[in-house]
Amino acid sequence: MDAKQLKIEAARVALEHVEDGMRLGIGTGSTAEEFVRLLAVKVADGLSIIGVPTSERTAALCTELGVPLSTLEETPELDLTIDGADEIDPQLGLIKGGGGALLREKIVAAASEKMLVIADASKLVDTLGKFPLPIEVNEFGLGATKIAIAKVAADLGLEGPLEIRMTNGKPFVTDGGHLIIDASFGRIPDTRALSDALHAIPGVVEHGLFLGLADAAVVAEAGHGVRTVRAVA
Ligand SMILES: O=C[C@H](O)[C@H](O)[C@H](O)COP(=O)(O)O
């Protein structure tokens, strides 16, 4: 089974958690897109949900496929968010933001009663951090913000390149109009301490560590089918 098929399988099982009348946070990325495609078929068959998208990209796909949308202004409390992830640890801590949507994704997940992650098994790790941590920053004061990030990381024994994410030769700009710094710290033993320290830097808008937000992960693995993973205490 190829990577795309695994994403479809995880999305298919996650869809079983969607009930009629739900207010649904809809994630971003290639796995979330497979979920949107399956959701659209159900909607066409009569499933009644209202979706809040986590990016302009997801909003466009939902609109194209006829998935009804709302905003967090109109629908500020959600029942369930279904989203992908770049890494998942045994406590269901996540790294997200590979697609640059981490800020809206975190706001939507935090507004949801439950968050379900969909992924293939390659996203499971013992310790977060092999995937560079996306940090969304304000363009103003970028140099000072980079220095501050490097300092708080060093205090936690972390170091590594801090690279401004580029696309087509220009800095990548998020839906919120910010930049992304991809921080290659390697494994992050104390994710909570790093999260708190990054939040204390004024130029940091948000970061891609999602801690205590996911309730379960639906994980598809070649040869092993799909399993639902819950946090290890
Ligand atoms: O900003 C993007 C999101 O956090 C995605 O959910 C994450 O990057 C996973 O994407 P994919 O399903 O394409 O691996």
Note the pLDDT tens digit of each residue in 52-64.
Answer: 999 999 999 999 9
User: Relative to the CA of 101, which ligand 1 atom is closest?
Assistant: 1
Residues touching ligand 1 (Cβ under 6 Å) are 27-32, 83-86, 96-102, 105
Determine the pLDDT at residue 233: 67
Query: In the 8-state DSSP scheme, what is residue 157?
Result: T
Segment 3-30 mean pLDDT:
97
CA-to-CA distance for 186 and 233, rounded, in angstroms? 24
Predicted complex: ipTM over 0.85: yes
* pLDDT above 90 for 231: no
117 pLDDT tier (thresholds 50, 70, 90): very high
Token pair recorded at residue 88 = 């998942």
Determine the pLDDT at residue 137: 98
Note the pLDDT tens digit of each residue in 62-82.
Answer: 999 999 999 999 999 999 999
Query: Which residue's alpha carbon is nearest to atom 8 within ligand 1?
Result: 98
CA-to-CA distance for 61 and 40, rounded, in angstroms? 10
Cβ contact 227:219 at 8 Å: yes
pLDDT, the chain, mean: 97
Ligand 1 geometric centre to CA of 83 (Å):
8
Torsion over CA: 217, 222, 226, 229 (sign): negative
Query: Which residue's alpha carbon is nearest to atom 6 within ligand 1?
Result: 84
Determine the pLDDT at residue 232: 80
Note the pLDDT tens digit of each residue in 131-155.
Answer: 999 999 999 999 999 999 999 999 9
Phi-psi region of 26 (alpha: psi -120 to 50; beta: other; left: phi over 0): beta
User: What distances in angstroms separate CA 35 from CA 16, 126, 199, 218, one per listed residue?
Assistant: 11, 26, 31, 12
Pairing of strands 166-167, 170-171: antiparallel
| Residue 51 annotated as binding site | no
Catalytic residues: 105
Phi-psi region of 142 (alpha: psi -120 to 50; beta: other; left: phi over 0): alpha
Note the pLDDT tens digit of each residue in 151-178.
Answer: 999 999 999 999 999 999 999 999 999 9
* pLDDT above 90 for 33: yes
| Residue 99 annotated as binding site | yes
| Residue 30 annotated as binding site | yes
| Residue 28 annotated as binding site | yes
- Pocket probe mutation, ligand 1, options 34, 35, 86, max atoms within 8 Å of Cβ: 86
User: Relative to the CA of 83, which ligand 1 atom is closest?
Assistant: 6
Query: Which residue's alpha carbon is nearest to atom 9 within ligand 1?
Result: 85
Ligand 1 geometric centre to CA of 166 (Å):
17
